[in-house]
A and B are shown apart, each in its own frame.
Chain A
Amino acid sequence: MASLEERLAAFVRSRLPGVEGVRVEGLERIFGGASRETFRFVLEYGEDGVPVSRRLILRRDPSGSLIDTERAVEFAAYRGFHGSAVPVPEALWLEEDERWLDHPFFVMEEIAGFEASPQAILAPPYDRHAAKTARQKWTILGEIARADASALGLTDVMQPVAPDACWRRELDYWEKRLDENEQCPQPVIRAAIRWLRRNPPPPAQRVGVVHGDYRTGNFLVDTEGRIRAILDWEMAHLGDPLEDLAWGINPVWRWARDGRAGGLAPREEAIRIWEEASGLTADPQALRWWEVFSSVKGQAIWVAGAREFSTGENHDLVLGISGWLMGNSQDRAALHDLGKLP
């Protein structure tokens, strides 16, 4: 059977019929990315006698993952935001036909030489620039909230939602995922769900693009603290922009354990920057609703990963440890946001 490199090269030949000598070199899996298998590789070919070498990323659906996500949406988000105030890699090819690499996949540009790991970003030399990174991080999120989804071509692939229906659609969806995947009762999160249904938020100020997983760990930063690319758009959708803000400041993403949102800046500072950049207001009551919701969504993701690790085909260790470490921290975050834990 042909190697993954050979099969990927065959696919590229089908997409670039006018070039010669297509080769895939240095294919290497990148750690993390439990919703898709992520590989980096170098694509080499000749075009009009000129050698071309490009560093690219392959994002392939696994047999099972933390979450079932729509790759076409992720691909469209990269396409839509490329060249905008929201830095993203260039998306090249989306392929749904499984005959090429056994699972659907897409290929995009690699933004090479920068760091995504939260542990690395919160340590030298990156930590010196935490305030700068924080300002850019929350400003970019404001830009995402301001974005015209229709102009970016995203309304073609993302389901529309009315401003007063955003909360219910998301809560229904993630409660269903929890129902489907939990392997043991979740009394904290079930209590949180009841609280959310008793205390619905006001309608969204505007329906915008929601990244869906906007947190430290899902962007690339350079040693001067500049964010070079926003990654992992697999949960992007249309909705209330407060959803992204609340997710990003959830206690489980503090990492540094010192109370700073995303390990980078105080919570209130993050909110202030986001309000300034988005032109929206983070109403405290509405934001609190979305913060509690974030823990429901988070726990639904962790229990799905735990089920897949325990009973499915994907035994990526990230799935297993997420069920333990993140699952317990997520319960604690829910209790914290409900005022039941300091």
Chain B
Amino acid sequence: MDKLQFKPKSRIKEFLGEKTIAVTAFAALVAIMLIFIFIFKESLPIFHDEFVKEEASLDKMVFKQEYVEGRDPKWSWQPNSDIPKYSLLPLFIGTLKAAIIAMLFAVPLGVGAAIYSAEFASRRMREFIKPVIELLAGIPSVVLGFFALIVMATFLQNIFGFTYRLNAINAGVALGLAVIPIIFTMAEDAMTSVPQSLRDASLALGASPWQVSMTVVLPTALPGIAASIILGFGRAIGETMIVLMASGNAAVISASFTDSIRTVSATIASELAEVVFGSAHYNVLFFLGTLLFIFTFLLNMGGDIVLNRLKERFQGKIS
């Protein structure tokens, strides 16, 4: 009889199946937790180990230090010096500079392309533009970095006459290429998911397509666009290979975007390979990793919260 299928035996199978799927769902969560715990644990000696603290305490990483008596105190990242210097400021300035340029480059292009594709492009055009921009996301970052190092750096220097061939602008533009598809995809999704009823209502009231897009669709989708920008920024902060190759890797403190920079991620990538296990330098690199992790984690979470609010808005829970 058919009823046999629902005997306890098959319930066990269902139970196991369900739990297995649950485990896969939690695997990623556990992995993230373990990664964070490990990275954080390796940076702990900075806070309690006397030997490490003497070389690299929080103080020394944040504030100006007078390394040689009589010379001006300064922020400096020179971990392999006779007097190791671990100021984090030059690295954070470098990271921010690259990310700012990347956003200045990627936000107008990404959002603009998204508006065009979602609102104005013909169906055929959209089916061409979308895959092409999304293809950009598929380019390995090392290829983008190599392109920026060999081709783009020379090109930009010839146009703008930069003193330093590899600089924040060069690295930032290359980073921007990696960020555009993230912003484009999410912003486009946000706009196409604005309910058709809203558009129809405005059109019925006599608004032109341009007015509908700018005054109805865009404001409604704004949280989604904001989320796309936040996530894009997170990618720009954490991206490694592009900045490692295209930024010049000089830990300089300056306000100029035409100077070379050294980012947090590139520093970890290039220095972790040679560092002696358990040394102060090793701990500081993991501390940098922890900060980077927390920062991108917060950005992603912020993006998610904004996105959820967007969903609620579509369902009419927020006016």
A and B: interacting chains: no
Which A residues are within 8 Å of any B CB, using their own CB?
none
